[in-house]
Amino acid sequence: MNKVITSASAVRPGRALGLLLALLLLLAPPAVARPSQVQVARQFLLAILRADYAQAYQLLAPEVSAAVSPARFRAAARPLYEKGQQFRPSIDLYKLGLRIGEANDVRSFYSFMFKSDTLAPRPQVQLDVTFRDSTATRILSFGLIPAPQRGGK
């Protein structure tokens, strides 16, 4: 018995599936990487420092934007903007970590300092951003943290 092999039967089913998957991967749009918390925190602060409050407001956690009007947000962000005018709006990451609250809730935080403040022994002020947990990418809270002052004797 002679078998006739046609081009369609020459490709094994497993190999055909592999070729099909490879073709689909090539044609699929590339996956967009989700920004990290530090990237979101930096983007948020830079938006505030250039007075782009609308862009910064979009980065708030849904429950925060539901509770805080854009006008109240602008008023809360204004001190950060003013410090940026005082120190120049270039920032660097200063520290990051976790904060444990009174109810044992753990929040991720990122503190930035102004680049013009880098030669000081410690920054005069920190720009602080907090997230709900280590996986959240929306801002839960933000503010200024003044540098600790040494007590005189």
- The whole-number pLDDT of residue 23 equals 61
C-alpha 35/C-alpha 44 separation (Å) is 12
Average pLDDT over residues 55-72: 97
The letter for the amino acid at 128 is D
Inter-residue contact 125 to 144 (CB < 8 Å)? yes
Please report where in the chains the tokens 């539901």 appear, as a residue.
66
pLDDT digits (tens, 9 = 90+) for 8-28: 445 555 676 666 666 666 676
Q: Please, which contacts does 97-104 make with residues 24 or more away whose CB atoms are closer than 8 Å?
A: 98/134, 99/130
Average pLDDT over residues 123-149: 90
Domains of the chain: 37-146 (3.10.450)
Rg, C-alpha atoms of the chain:
25
pLDDT digits (tens, 9 = 90+) for 82-126: 999 998 889 999 999 999 988 899 999 999 999 988 777 778 899
Percent of the chain with pLDDT over 90: 61
The average confidence (pLDDT) of the chain is 85
Alpha-helical runs (H) found in the chain: 7-10, 13-27, 37-49, 53-57, 62-67, 70-87
Instruction: Give, in order, the Cα–Cα distances in Å from 14 to each of 9, 43, 67, 119.
Output: 12, 46, 55, 63
Reported pTM: 0.75
Inter-residue contact 115 to 91 (CB < 8 Å)? yes
